[in-house]
Amino acid sequence: MNAPLPNHLLLDVAQRETPAALIDALKARFLDRCSTAMVVREQHGRDESSFAAPPPAAVVFAESTLDVADAVKLASHYSVPVIPFGVGTSLEGHLLAVQGGISIDVSRMNRVLRINAEDLTVTVQAGVTRKQLNEEVKSTGLFFPIDPGADATLGGMSATRASGTNAVRYGTMRENVLALEVVTASGEIIRTGTRAKKSSAGYDLTRLMVGSEGTLGVITEVTVKLYPLPEAISAAICSFPSIEAAVRTTIEVIQLGVPIARVELIDHNTVRMVNKHSKLNLREEPMLLMEFHGSPSSVKEQAELVQELASGHGGNAFEWASTPEERTRLWAARHNAYFAAIQSRPGCRAISTDTCVPISRLADCLLDSIAEVDASNIPYFLVGHVGDGNFHFGYLIDPSIPEERRIAEELNHKLVTRALTLEGTCTGEHGVGLHKMDFLVLETGDGAVNMMRTIKRALDPKNIMNPGKIFSL
C-alpha cells in the first residue's frame, strides 16, 4: 500500500500522525461519508502534477458548509492537516497529503444556489464545475467566461487564482470573484464581500483567499460575475512563418487595445501532434487561435484590424468560423493539445511551465526559451495565452529516465529566471503548490514571503490548512 503512481516523482515528505481517535470521530459524525478505503484515499491523494505522496488517512465527503466546518473542527482538535479536494485537476501538487491528514471532498457540494441574472452574478457551492455552471445559467443569456481548460470546480479555481483562454478580455478569478464563504482553520464560517460590484469595506479578504491554495481556509461558496453572451462571436485561426511573427502580432493587438476575447498560440510542433491525434490537416506552422466577442459590427471591426496586423507579420491562411459548430472544430486543436502531446510519447509525463511576462517581453522570453528546449532534445509542446504574456511548455519526459526530469527542471529553472528578469512571474495561473516554492522567493523576495508566512501563522496557528504548500513554515 501507499505505493506512488509509477510515473510520478515520490516526494520526500514529513507525515504527521493521524490519531485513530480522529478517524473514529469523523466516522461517527459522517458515517459512510467518511472513507478510509485505500482506493478512495489514493484517488484523493494525487492530482495532475507529476508528484506522488502517501495518500490522506481518510476522505470526508462534505455535502454542506456545516459538514466542512465540523470536519475542520475535528481536525483542528487533533492538529491534523486538512486538504480541500474538488475534482483533482491541480497541476502543482496542491492535493497531495505531504504532511498526512484528511481530504475534504467538496464535489457533492454542487448546487447553483442563486442566479441573480439582473445583477450579472451567481452564487454557487464550491464543488460546482465551470461547465456545470455554464449549463445552468445558459437560459439567462449569461455566461461565466473563465476557462482554465480542465472542468475544474469554482472552489478549486478560486483557490488557485485560475484563468485560461478568456482571461485576456474577462480577467482571472482575481477579477471575477465577488465574495466567498470560507471555513477558517478553527472551523468558523465567514463571509468575505457582498454582491456589490465594488467595495472599500476593510481588508480584501476575498482576494486574500483567492489564490491561497487551501492554506488559509476551505472555500465553501463562491459568488462570481457573469457576462451577457456576446451578440456575435467569431473565431479565426491564422498561421505564421515563425513564432516571432505570431507573437509580434499579438503584442500589437494588445497594445492597440483591441478587446480580443481569446488569443492562443500553438507552436508548429504542437500543431503536428494535434494533426496526428485528431486526424486534422492544419498547416504545421505556428498559429494563433483567436476569438472576438461583441456586436456584429464590433466583431467585424476587431477581426479586420487583427487580420491587417497579422498580414503585416506574414500571417496567412486566415480561417474564419462564426457558427458554434465551426468554432468548436477550430478550438478542438487547442483543447486537444495536451492529450495529443501526451499521446505523442507513450508513457510520458508532462512537466508544465507557467511563466507570465509583460507583453513587450513576450518575444524575448519565448524565443530564448524555445532555443534552449530545442537544444535539449526533450520533446515538448508549447501553448500560450499569449495575449496575457502567459505560456506553457509541457516537457514530455520519460519518468523512468531521471536524467530527463533533471533536464526538464533545469529548463524550467532557466525559463523562470528569465521571466523574473523580464519583470514577470513564475506562475500565471497554476499556483505555487509544491513545485515553485523556491521560485516564489526568487520572485517576491524573502520580505514578501515572510509576510505571507506571518499571515498564515496568525490565521492557522496549528498549521493544519493544506500545510507544506506555497512556502515552507
Phi, psi of 244 (to 5 degrees): -60, -45
454 contacts a copy of itself (rule: CB under 8 A): yes
With cell 509541457, the residue in question is 394
191-230: which residues touch a copy of itself (CB under 8 A)?
191-205, 207-208, 210-212, 216, 227-228
115 contacts a copy of itself (rule: CB under 8 A): no
Near a copy of itself by CB under 8 A: residue from 12, 32, 118, 325: 118
Rounded to 10°, the helix 437-459/402-421 angle is 80
Residues 408-432 as b or e (16 or more Cβ within 10 Å = b): beebbeebbebbbebebbbbbbbbb
Strands 112-116 and 82-85 turn out to be unpaired
**CA atoms of 167 and 470, how far apart (whole Å):** 23
Across the beta sheet with 34-35, the strand order is 34-35, 58-61, 102-105, 82-85
270-309: which residues touch a copy of itself (CB under 8 A)?
294-295, 297-298, 301
**CA atoms of 159 and 327, how far apart (whole Å):** 30
230-269: which residues touch a copy of itself (CB under 8 A)?
251, 254-257
Residue closer to a copy of itself by CB (options 59, 254) is 254
Q: Count H helices and E strands in the chain, helices first.
A: 16, 20
420 contacts a copy of itself (rule: CB under 8 A): yes
Residue closer to a copy of itself by CB (options 56, 424) is 424
17-76: which residues touch a copy of itself (CB under 8 A)?
none
**CA atoms of 434 and 62, how far apart (whole Å):** 25
Q: How far is the CB of 441 from a copy of itself (least distance, A)?
A: 10
126-185: which residues touch a copy of itself (CB under 8 A)?
160-163, 167, 171-172, 174-175, 184
Near a copy of itself by CB under 8 A: residue from 272, 278, 459, 462: 459
Q: 442 and 417 in contact (C-beta within 8 Å)?
A: yes
Near a copy of itself by CB under 8 A: residue from 41, 277, 313, 436: 436
337-356: which residues touch a copy of itself (CB under 8 A)?
354, 356
**CA atoms of 438 and 98, how far apart (whole Å):** 17
Residue closer to a copy of itself by CB (options 88, 193) is 193
User: Residue 193 corresponds to which cell in the numbers above?
Assistant: 464581500
Q: How far is the CB of 18 from a copy of itself (least distance, A)?
A: 27
Residue closer to a copy of itself by CB (options 49, 427) is 427
Residue closer to a copy of itself by CB (options 92, 404) is 92
Residue closer to a copy of itself by CB (options 348, 440) is 440
Residue closer to a copy of itself by CB (options 351, 359) is 359
389-408: which residues touch a copy of itself (CB under 8 A)?
389-390
Near a copy of itself by CB under 8 A: residue from 190, 317, 371, 473: 190
**CA atoms of 187 and 75, how far apart (whole Å):** 9
DSSP state of 203: S
Q: How far is the CB of 390 from a copy of itself (least distance, A)?
A: 7
Residue closer to a copy of itself by CB (options 27, 207) is 207
Class of residue 319 by CB neighbours under 10 A (exposed 0-12, middle 13-18, buried 19+)? middle
Residue closer to a copy of itself by CB (options 37, 196) is 196
| Beta bridge mates, 316 | 239
User: How many residues line the site for a copy of itself (CB under 8 A)?
Assistant: 90
